[in-house]
A and B are shown apart, each in its own frame.
Chain A
Amino acid sequence: MIKSFKKNIKGILIEGLTLSSALLIIAIVVVMVTVIVIGGKDQISWEFLTSFPEDGMTKGGIFPAIYGTALLVIIMSVAAVPFGTITAIYLTEYAKENSVIAKTIRFAVRTLAVIPSIIYGLFGLGFFIKFVGTQMDNTFLGGQLKWGQPNILWASLTMALLTLPVVIVSVEEALKTVPKDLRAASLALGATKWQTIWKVVIPGSISGIMTGTILAVSRGAGEVAPILFTGVAYYVATLPSSLSDQFMVLGYHIYVMTTQSANVDKTMPIQFGTTLVLLALTFILNISAIVLRYRIRKKKTN
């Protein structure tokens, strides 16, 4: 009797311990969100979102940063989504599950996912700017400096490399949910393999491609380290108009305002406001991705 009671106590203790760990994590998230929402909500106004910084960034809005972030993720998606989707198609449709090639590609994708983002920044600097950019300048512009320096194109491409694994993993998961019967039916009706993929498999997994894109955009909007020296600027007076311009980004704006601004206390509201905007942006994107993915998984179990 006593023994089973002891056993029970132990069980309750252990279950409580694990439960409190889970609750603590939730609490951390809630506290972070609450603090940032409370700190930033008074700052958010239409004007804040649509005007330029003023008075040495101590006043005014964050429009160039929002615009730069949007541009960055658009160019990035244009580069990352097609390549990611095609890689996922290869892995699910063409490669044999246990072939050396498929295994190597999967390993490469997972490695890409864990390489620190700052390494991508170094790679962007060493490869895109100092190698590709300088070569372009030398061959097309006769050595005039245009592409051999940080700009939005190189930053977006660097970011695209970083988000490639995100796209690949999501699309692969979605492709696997397309029933084998559909493929078989299409093939049996005389469609070729490529026709089957193009007309049956891809339309059936479009939500997965969407999820991948959204997750990639959310990741790309929040990362700062890869673009630190591949294109982001502390302040630019005009919006970027060509691919060779520098640009502002929300995440970097937060970083410089908190660490390098002359008057940190004075700009506190702007810092909280910017953080809130960035957080809200990634939240909306992530929640929609979670909902989409939930639907895909539901479809799979049905």
Chain B
Amino acid sequence: MTKKNQKGKPSKSSDSGLIDITRKKFRWSDYLAEKVIKGTAFLSITIIVLIFFFVFRESLPIFYSAKSTEQTETAGNASSVQETYGEVTDKPAAPEVQETYGEVTDQSNTQEQYGEVKDTSAPADSVEKAYTVSAGSGFDDNRSALKSLLTKDWVPVSEKPRYGILSLIIGTFKITIISILFAAPLAILAALYTASFAGKRLKEIIKPTIELLAGFPSVVIGFFALMVLATFLQEIFHYETRLNSFVGGIAMGIAAIPIIFTITEDALTAVPKTFNEASLALGASKWQTAFLVILPAATPGIFAAVLLGIGRVFGETMIALMATGNAAMMDLNPFTSVRTLAATIGAEMAEVVFGDTHYNVLFLIGSLLFIFTFILNAIAEFYVKGKLMKRIQGK
């Protein structure tokens, strides 16, 4: 078939230009290949949408309590549900109410009755409500979970579980700030050195080293932090808890350095050579050019680098699990243990019951992480790129 295609006559219009030749004849093999390739290329978009959908779906029951109660309770306490269900549906009141609602609208107590109708009209809903009144666990659980979300107590496994993610959020931000304060200046200065001052030989050492660091598994960095860095830093700073947000922050900073470095370096080398030449020609020295011309021109790119570094630290799980002490505490002291959002998911997800409130809350935390990194990336992508292009093209 392919041979035949090759011999196929070129169409009339194809006497010049590549485009015309490729358009000469309709071919099934080509058509199919293009469609399959195009379809596959959409996979990455599909995955994003699926991640959005499935991570959110599992966290929804907290807000949409009825559904979750249905899930969690029908299995365990089937008998009691049955009982209350019977009560509700046997109630002769339900149809009556419906009638009165239709007939009389001016009566003073219609408002109340209307409310009742609303409850009984959806049978599933009424079962849950009735059930809650009598047994009062599942629905209550979700309610109180939702209420406790913005408190600071994270006590998911207890008689009265409380899911206050505030302390987790504070902990995550604390550790993110520490690690960015450590990693960003280091990586940006090193990138500036590589882009502006370094000779060829040094460049060939620095860049592969950074690439190797980027390839370090986070477990290995976590292990290093846990075994060596924690002891080392404790000897210098003499703080009490060996594993704390400071150690974790430094370790995560090490993980974030390659990202910040690479993107910053890209941004710096993307600054047109004419900037450099013009500055040098005007009599500026090498460091003045680097610091006062190249660096400012690349600021949007550096900003993007830091944003993505923040994203990396924010979602880092293994280092957080291993080196931060994992105690949910609510203070701003850098030398106390913290528990980050990602570490909470990593540590607790394996032990929760599927469909449980705790399970849903963990997925909710996952959604928060996802939204946050998505927004960070979107800012880095659109806002920064537009600005960088404008600046470099001198508009």
Contact = CB atoms under 8 A, between A and B. Distances in A.
A116 B369 contact: yes
Contact of A251 (B18, B22, B33, B217): B217
A119 B220 contact: no
Given A108-B48, A115-B370, A122-B58, A35 B228 contact: yes
Given A108-B48, A115-B370, A187 B316 contact: no
Interface string A71-96: 00000000000010011011101110
Contacts of B42: 105
B21 A91 contact: no
Contacts of A114: 308, 311-312, 373, 376-377
Given A104-B45, A255-B321, A25 B30 contact: no
A206 to B, nearest CB: 18
Contact of B219 (A14, A255, A287): A255
A118 B317 contact: yes
Contacts of A282: 215-217, 220
A89 B291 contact: no
Nearest to A127: B54
A121 interface: yes
Interface residues of B, number: 98
Nearest to A225: B317
Given A90-B38, A119-B366, A194-B33, A26 B2 contact: no
Nearest to A7: B285
B48 A94 contact: no
Given A21-B190, A24-B186, A192-B29, A121 B349 contact: yes
Contact of B315 (A117, A125, A164): A117
B13 to A, nearest CB: 16
Interface in A175-233: 184, 187-188, 190-195, 197, 215, 218-219, 221-225, 228-229
A222 B316 contact: no
A143 interface: no
A261 to B, nearest CB: 12
A190 B18 CA distance: 10
A123 interface: yes
A123 B54 contact: yes
Interface in B1-44: 2, 5-7, 18, 21-22, 27, 29-30, 33-34, 36-38, 40-44
B6 A191 contact: yes
Given A21-B190, A29-B209, A259-B321, A118 B315 contact: yes
Interface string B242-269: 0000000000001001000100000000
B94 to A, nearest CB: 35
Nearest to A13: B287
B140 interface: no
B212 A122 contact: no
B185 A21 contact: yes
Contact of B197 (A18, A95, A120): A18
What's the dominant secondary structure at chain A's contact region?
A: helix
Interface in B210-254: 210-213, 215-224, 226-228, 254
Contact of A228 (B6, B291, B350): B350
A245 B362 CA distance: 26
B198 interface: yes
Given A90-B41, A258-B322, A119 B369 contact: yes
B215 A283 contact: yes
B217 A188 contact: no
Contact of A105 (B45, B210, B381): B45
B205 interface: yes
B193 A222 contact: no
Interface of B: 2, 5-7, 18, 21-22, 27, 29-30, 33-34, 36-38, 40-45, 47-48, 50-51, 54-55, 57-58, 185-187, 189-190, 192-194, 196-198, 202, 205-206, 208-213, 215-224, 226-228, 254, 257, 261, 285-288, 290-291, 308, 311-312, 314-318, 321-322, 342, 345-346, 349-350, 354, 362-363, 366, 369-370, 373-374, 376-378, 381
16 contacts: A22-B194, A25-B187, A25-B190, A114-B308, A114-B311, A114-B312, A115-B370, A116-B370, A120-B51, A191-B6, A197-B33, A222-B215, A222-B216, A271-B223, A282-B217, A290-B211
Instruction: List 5 tightest A-B contacts by C-beta distance, closest first.
Output: A116-B315, A222-B217, A18-B193, A90-B41, A21-B189
Given A223-B217, A225-B342, 20 more contacts: A10-B287, A11-B285, A21-B189, A83-B43, A87-B41, A90-B40, A107-B378, A110-B377, A111-B378, A116-B317, A130-B58, A165-B44, A187-B21, A221-B217, A225-B346, A251-B318, A252-B219, A258-B226, A285-B215, A287-B208
